[in-house]
Amino acid sequence: MTTDGGKSQSVVEAKGLGLTFKTADGDVVALSDVNLGINRGEFVSFIGPSGCGKTTFLRVIADLEQPTSGTITVNGTSPTDARLNRSYGYVFQAPALFPWRTIENNVALPLEIMGYGDADRKARIKKAVELVNLEGFEKKFPWQLSGGMQQRASIARALAFDADLLLMDEPFGALDEIVRDHLNSELLKLWATTQKTIAFVTHSIPEAVYLSTKIVVMSPRPGRVTDVIDSTLPHGERPLEIRETPEFLQLAARVRDGLRAGHSYEE
Ligand SMILES: Nc1ncnc2c1ncn2[C@@H]1O[C@H](COP(=O)(O)OP(=O)(O)OP(=O)(O)O)[C@@H](O)[C@H]1O
């Protein structure tokens, strides 16, 4: 296994990565021969049909699943070391906030676990809450907030300890289109401001194209990467209207072609 000691631009490096789940009904090949690099500061989206291994790949990065073949490094180390070094924040599909804790106390949770002192904790909560535009809602409970605001709170929680890498598993999948648009443009701003590296799972072609500097198209049975598209759109903030430009539509068409090629069934 090669490591770069954290010096290079590479945040995630997967080589020949495979993961087969052993189940009562036999083997399930969730990932097969995945070769992929994510560089520092990139916004990488993973798109593909249900069951193609997107979540599994994120979970391997996060050390929540163990690969059965190949290698993967995170920040130049093993995923286990990266986890112990608090190298990433994880945002789940559902907000997963504790209902009995206020927003600020939910954001505080990882900081409490990590043993940050009172003053440091307060400063970090303030900064994270500002980054997701939730000022004024710190004392509210999750159930007093809309779904979009709850998801912003869980992003704030993932940002609170300032990990360089943000893993986001379909964070806006359950939200309506208008709210999703809004959160997409906020997320881009946040990414441009913080210069984090983001790995983002989605089912939506426009979302993947709008957000990403790189789009990884995956296909199921077994989960493999069928196309890696470097975005030609400007990096950094993008107006929502960019989605009507020929360049955007061309990228979207390429993603769609990649998804079609990976499908073994009719639409
Ligand atoms: N713990 C597990 N045990 C057995 N099989 C699993 C396990 N976790 C995932 N799988 C299987 O591995 C495959 C990949 O699952 P994964 O959740 O990574 O797909 P996905 O692309 O994220 O899907 P979705 O878009 O629906 O979230 C699926 O066939 C799934 O059923």
Distance from the alpha carbon of residue 160 to the mean position of ligand 1, in angstroms: 29
Locate the ligand 1 atom nearest the alpha carbon of residue 52 and give its number: 21
Alpha carbon nearest to ligand 1 atom 26, residue = 50
Say what the pLDDT of residue 9 is.
86
Does residue 222 have a cis bond before it (omega within 30 degrees)? yes
- Residue with CA nearest ligand 1 atom 7: 21
**What's the 231 CA to ligand 1 centre distance in angstroms?**
27
How far is ligand 1, taken at its centre, from the CA of residue 53, in Å? 6
User: How many Å apart are CA 54 and CA 137, to the nearest integer?
Assistant: 33
Closest residue by Cα to residue 22 from 87, 63, 66, 58: 66
CA distances from 257 to 48, 63, 100, 200, 205 (A): 11, 32, 46, 20, 11
The reported pTM is 0.90
pLDDT given at position 255: 96
Identify which of 54, 59, 61, 168 to mutate to test ligand 1's pocket (most ligand atoms within 8 A of the CB): 54
Predicted complex ipTM exceeds 0.90: yes
Condensed to tens digits (0 to 9), the pLDDT of residues 121-164 reads: 999 999 999 888 899 999 999 999 988 899 889 999 988 888 89
What domains are defined for the chain?
Answer: 10-87+164-262 (3.40.50.300), 98-162 (no CATH)
Residue appearing with tokens 């975005």: 231
Tell me the H-state helices in 63-102.
79-84
Per-residue pLDDT, 264: 59
- Look at residue 125 in the predicted model and tell me its pLDDT: 94
Atom of ligand 1 nearest to the CA of 223: 14
Distance in Å, CA 21 to ligand 1 centroid:
9
Q: DSSP for 190-233?
A: HHHHH--EEEEEES-HHHHHHH-SEEEEEETTTTEEEEEEE--S
* Whole-number average pLDDT of the chain: 90
For 213-236, the pLDDT digits (tens) are 999 999 887 888 999 999 999 988
| pLDDT tens digits in sequence order for the chain, 267 residues long | 444 444 458 999 999 999 999 999 899 999 999 999 999 999 999 999 888 999 999 999 999 999 999 999 999 999 999 999 989 999 988 778 999 999 999 999 989 988 888 999 999 999 999 888 899 999 999 999 988 899 889 999 988 888 899 999 998 888 888 888 888 988 898 899 888 999 999 999 999 999 999 999 998 878 889 999 999 999 888 899 999 999 999 999 999 999 987 765 544
**For residue 141, how many other CB atoms are within 10 A of its CB?**
16
Any residues with Cβ below 6 Å from ligand 1, and which?
21, 23, 28, 30, 48, 50-56, 223
